[in-house]
């Protein structure tokens, strides 16, 4: 059969379209194997919520994910389908997202009778930290990060909006600023109340309220990196030291956004070098 140039071009185009889809299926199969191995080793139910930029469409477009209602629905279904006496290991890697969705997930985590461990391989910021507050144990790496849970109004810290309103006489504050400050006051109170609700089964009321105040009232900027040591100092149940299988699992969630500027070769011990 004669192969024309046009057929070769068409074949190449089809390969380019299908390559991200086939690669995604391969990674999905490898992730399933890795999750099953962790479940057998830890005798637990493993649930993951990994938000990374990943090529998912036929044309390989990048998609950025945050915590949304679909995540909440999926995780709640998984938790409810888990036997009451089976521990849950929830692997979180997320920049945050909707407070409503994060609170729904956190309440489902808190309601599970058996132990719930949350693993934070790299970061679980904002809504991810809110979910972590509901866990019996938070396992972090040496350089993993949590973050503040202060609500954001139109991309601006609610605490900063309130502070701006309070910094000048009310007659010098515009109606729009007053409305935003009112919404901010409510948002902060709601997040604090939710955080205290999640933590009181494990912390005393006074300690939970103090921690909620620190995390939700604008003590830091919203992207502040809360280290494991600092989080433990605030009163959270933190264990430092991620199991190797959790780190291996994270490698199966590639983020092919662009060519990385970081490059290194596999380590070759000096005694084995030719």
Residue 29 lies in a domain: yes
What tens digit of pLDDT does each residue of 216-247 get?
999 999 999 999 999 999 999 999 999 999 99
Distances (CA, A) of 180 to 161, 173, 175, 185, 216: 7, 11, 9, 9, 17
pLDDT (0 to 100) of residue 57? 45
Q: Are residues 140 and 157 in the same domain?
A: no
Distance CA 214, CA 78 (A): 31
Percentage of the residues of the chain whose pLDDT score is greater than 90: 72
Residue 230 lies in a domain: no
Q: Report the chain's mean pLDDT, rounded to a whole number.
A: 87
Q: Are residues 43 and 26 in the same domain?
A: yes
pTM value is: 0.84
What tens digit of pLDDT does each residue of 116-159 get?
999 999 999 999 999 999 999 999 999 999 999 999 999 999 99
Give the structural domain span for 169.
Answer: 148-224
Residue 51 lies in a domain: yes
Residue 60 lies in a domain: yes
pLDDT of residue 2 exceeding 80: no
pLDDT (0 to 100) of residue 64? 53
Q: Are residues 73 and 99 in the same domain?
A: yes
Residue 270 lies in a domain: no
Structure-block tokens of residue 209: 């309220």
How many domains would you assign to the chain? 2
Alpha helices by DSSP H, listed for 43-154, are 69-80, 99-111, 127-132
What tens digit of pLDDT does each residue of 27-68 get?
778 889 999 999 999 999 999 999 975 544 444 444 558 999
Q: Are residues 173 and 83 in the same domain?
A: no
pLDDT of residue 254 exceeding 80: no
Residue 178 lies in a domain: yes
Q: Are residues 156 and 117 in the same domain?
A: no
Distance CA 100, CA 50 (A): 18
Residue 63 lies in a domain: yes
pLDDT (0 to 100) of residue 53? 54
Q: Are residues 55 and 177 in the same domain?
A: no
């Amino acid at each position: 059969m004669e192969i024309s140039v046009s057929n070769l071009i068409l074949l190449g185009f089809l390969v380019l379209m299908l390559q991200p889809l086939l690669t995604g299926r391969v990674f999905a199969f490898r992730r399933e194997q890795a999750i099953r191995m962790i479940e057998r080793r830890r005798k637990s139910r493993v649930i993951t919520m990994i938000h990374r930029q990943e090529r998912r469409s036929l044309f390989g477009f990048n998609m950025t994910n945050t915590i949304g209602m679909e995540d909440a629905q999926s995780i709640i279904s998984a938790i409810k389908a888990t036997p009451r006496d089976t521990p849950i290991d929830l692997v979180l890697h997320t920049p945050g997202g909707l407070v409503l969705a994060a609170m729904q997930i956190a309440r489902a985590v808190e309601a599970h009778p058996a132990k719930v461990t949350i693993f934070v391989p790299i970061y679980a910021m904002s809504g991810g930290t809110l979910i972590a507050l509901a866990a019996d144990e938070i396992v972090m790496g040496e350089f993993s990060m949590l973050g503040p849970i202060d609500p954001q109004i139109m991309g601006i810290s609610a605490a900063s909006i309130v502070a701006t309103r309070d910094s000048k006489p009310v007659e010098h504050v515009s109606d729009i600023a007053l409305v935003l400050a009112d919404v901010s006051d409510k948002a902060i109170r709601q997040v604090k109340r939710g955080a205290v609700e999640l933590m009181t089964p494990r912390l005393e009321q006074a300690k939970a309220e103090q921690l909620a105040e620190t995390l939700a009232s604008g003590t830091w900027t919203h992207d502040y990196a809360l280290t494991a040591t600092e989080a433990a100092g605030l009163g959270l149940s933190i264990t430092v030291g991620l199991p190797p299988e959790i780190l291996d699992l994270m490698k199966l969630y590639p983020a092919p956004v662009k060519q990385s500027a970081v490059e290194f070769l596999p380590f070759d011990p000096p005694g084995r070098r030719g």
